[in-house]
Every structure is written in structure tokens, then in C-alpha cells.
Amino acid sequence: MNLSGILVTAASGRFDEIVAGLPVLPGVEVHHTDAATSRVVVVQEAPTIEDEVDGLRRIQALPGVVAAEMVYHYFADDPSLAGTPL
């Protein structure tokens, strides 16, 4: 299982829209938002690294996203985490 912390910067004026849209993507959760700087911290969960990278590209491709950077990546082979039904 892979977890990554992604910092998303929204275009001015589209912050709310981005915040609302991100959780729709598979495995993506919005954790923090900072309206002042139009930034959103999301955590993405995916089964493989490839999926993780695809997910990042999806976010980057969202209209209104200025930038999305993977700041933190966690690769879990921890059996207590893997395979747990969410």
C-alpha cells in the first residue's frame, strides 16, 4: 500500500472548487486547506507506486490546479496496514 502527501496549489478564485473536487478522485482525502495561500494538503492512497504516480498526474491535470507536488511518500509493507478494508 502506498500513501503520499501531496501539496496542491489552486489557481486564484478556484480554491473552493478544487477543495470540493479533490475528494472525488479515488483514494484522495483532503486534510488541510489554507485559503490564504490557495493551498490544499491531500493524502492519497493507492495499491502500487504506479497507481500513486498516475493519481498525482490526475490531480495535476485537474482544471484550476496550478501545481501538485508529492511532498511525502510512504511505502507500506507493514502487514497491519496492508489489506485492511477501508
Partner 1 sequence: MTSLTRRAFMKSGIAAATAATVGITVSQEALAQAKAAEAGWSWDKGVCRFCGTGCGIQIATKGGQIVAVKGDPDAPVNRGLNCIKGYFNGRILYGQDRLTRPLMRMKDGAFDKRGDFVPVSWDRAMDEMERQAKRALAQKGPTGIAMIPSGQSLIQEGYTASKLMKAGFRSNNIDPNARLCMASAVAAFYQTFGVDEPANNYDDIELADAMILWGANMAEAHPVLWSRITDRRLTARTTKIVNITTFANLSSDIADLEIVMKPNADLAIQNYVAREIIARNAVNREFVDRHCVFATGPADIGYGMRPTDKFAFPAEKDVQGQELVHVLDKHEAVGQRKEPGTRVEQKNRTSAGKHWLISFDDFKKAVEPYTLDFVAELAKGDPDEPLDKFKAKLVELVDIYVDPKRNVMSFWTMGFNQHIRGVWVNEQCYATHLLLGKHARPGNGAFSLTGQPSACGTAREVGTFSHRLPADMLVDNAAHRKTTEEMWKLPPNTLNPKIGSDIMAILRDLEDGGVKFLWIQTTNPFQSTPNANHWLKAAREMDSFIVVAEAYPTVTAKVADLILPAAMIFEKWGGYGNAERRTQLWRQQVDPPGEARSDVWMMLEFAKRFRLKDVWGEKAVAGVKADGYPDGKLPDVLAEAQKLGYTPETTLYEALFATADNRKVAWPDPVAKGHGNSTVKALKEGWFVEKALFEEYRRFTVAKQHDLAAFDVYYRDDVRGLRWPVVDGKETKWRFVEGHDPFVKKGEGFNFYGPLLKALPTGNLDDVTDPKPTSLAGKAKIFFRPYAAPVEQTDANFDLWLCTGRILEHWHTGSMTRRVPELHRTAPTAVMYMHADDAAKRGLKRNDVAWIESRRGKVKVVVETKGRNRMPKGSVFVAFFDEAVFINKLVIDASDPISREPDYKKSAVKVYKA
Tell me which residues touch partner 1 (CB under 8 A).
Answer: 3-7, 29, 31-32, 34, 37, 39, 41-43, 45, 71-72, 74, 76, 80-81, 84, 86
Our CB check for partner 1 shows the closer of 32 and 47 to be 32
Our CB check for partner 1 shows the closer of 5 and 64 to be 5
Q: Euclidean distance between the first and final Cα of the chain, in Å?
A: 12
H or E element at residue 58:
helix 49-61
Q: Which residue type, as a one-letter code, is found at position 3?
A: L
Least separation in angstroms between residue 75's CB and partner 1 is: 12
**Are residues 61 and 18 in contact, defined by beta-carbon separation less than 8 angstroms?**
no
Least separation in angstroms between residue 48's CB and partner 1 is: 17
Q: Which residue type, as a one-letter code, is found at position 14?
A: R
